[in-house]
A and B are shown apart, each in its own frame.
Chain A
């Protein structure tokens, strides 16, 4: 990697030192979005504009938007098992199906721009 140093009328192209290059690569790595972040951003970019703004303003919602269905269902199931611990297993299963179904339906509707 090279760097350009401009000093008055002089402009010099010089190689980065090994130390500078290592520091630069580390910083770039820290600045570069992860594959997961990129996937979320791409999913949000497909959303209609008002929904996109809402998802961008709510980081937790970003996960719901892009999470694989099985993972989303597992997350909801876990939440209901904790929150509705007093209910019977059969009733908790009903709640899990209901909330997962509603969440997925909203996600599909938003993607089809019906809620925009």
Chain B
């Protein structure tokens, strides 16, 4: 006869193994919405009705705009807030030059570099945004990193940008909107994935 304790241990072990093969459990992340790929040009992309059941949010995107240049940028707004409630500091590596800048009390948060119309075809710049404690009553911190390499005709075409920003809103974040800095549109092929982090 098999001891009860042995069965319990085996059962627990199976449960743990079961958990391990689910990536969202191992990483503590779940997709809030299925990955989206743009099928046409859009001026804004909004994730709405974001559920409150996570600790942090992670947005991964690959972006390209129709600005007539080799580089553009993306901006971020929360809960449709267009007031002057966004602060950010960022630094840019461009070839071998490092520079920094800040924007205080802006109507949206500058959040990262994107490829633009004169960049190498089919390429879009990676952008990764962490949004910390998005349901807390405090102001919300955002970190992001991004890159754009233009048409790569010179080292001066290459940009990496890191941002730290804060939204002065104190309500839980229930929607977020990405906008091109100049654009005016994000173009077909851009991708967006929003994760909740436990």
Interface residues in chain A, defined as those with a beta carbon under 8 Å from any beta carbon in chain B: 1-9, 11, 13, 16, 21, 23-25, 27-28, 31-32, 45, 49, 52-53, 56-57
- Across the interface, name the chain B residue whose C-beta is closest to A14: B42
B183/A28 in contact, CB under 8 A? yes
Whether B156 lies near A4 (C-beta < 8 A) is no
- The segment out of B43-51, B132-140, B164-172 that lies at the interface is B43-51
23 pairs from A and B in contact (CB 8 Å cutoff)? A2-B42, A3-B43, A3-B44, A4-B36, A6-B33, A6-B36, A6-B46, A6-B48, A7-B47, A7-B48, A8-B33, A9-B33, A16-B43, A21-B43, A24-B43, A24-B44, A24-B179, A24-B184, A28-B182, A31-B181, A45-B156, A53-B98, A57-B99
Interface flag for B162 (CB, 8 Å)? no
CA distance A77 to B113 in the complex (A): 41
Question: Which residues from B are CB-within-8-Å of A23?
Answer: 82
Cross-interface CB contact of A28 among B97, B156, B184, cutoff 8 Å: B184
Q: Which 4 A-B pairs have the closest CB atoms?
A: A1-B43, A3-B44, A4-B42, A4-B45
13 more A-B residue pairs beyond the given contacts A4-B38, A7-B33, A16-B44, with a C-beta to C-beta distance below 8 A: A1-B42, A2-B40, A3-B45, A4-B36, A6-B48, A6-B194, A9-B34, A13-B42, A21-B43, A24-B184, A25-B184, A28-B180, A28-B182
Q: How far is the CA of A78 from the CA of B60 in the complex (A)?
A: 53
Pick from B75, B108, B185, B192: contact of A1, CB below 8 A.
B185
Bound-state Cα–Cα, A5 to B194, Å: 13
Interface SS of B by simple majority: loop
Residue in A1, A5, A11 whose beta carbon sits within 8 Å of that of B184 in the complex:
A1
B95 interface contact, C-beta 8 A: yes
Q: Return chain A residues, CB-CB under 8 Å to B11.
A: none
Q: How far is the CB of A101 from chain B (nearest CB, A)?
A: 29
B42-87 interface with A by 8 A CB criterion = 42-49, 75, 82
Pick the residue among B36, B43, B181, B183 that contacts A2 (CB under 8 A). Answer: B43
Instruction: List the B residue with the shortest CB-CB distance to A2.
Output: B42
Given A6-B194, A7-B49, A49 contacting B96 (CB threshold 8 A): yes
Cβ < 8 Å to A, chain B residues 12-54? 32-34, 36, 38-49
CB neighbours (8 Å) of A53 from chain B are 97-99
Question: B70: shortest Cβ distance to chain A, in Å?
Answer: 11
Contact B192 A6 (CB under 8 A): yes
Among A1, A8, A13, which residue has its beta carbon within 8 angstroms of that of B49? A8
How far, in angstroms, from A25 to B185 measured CA to CA in the complex? 11
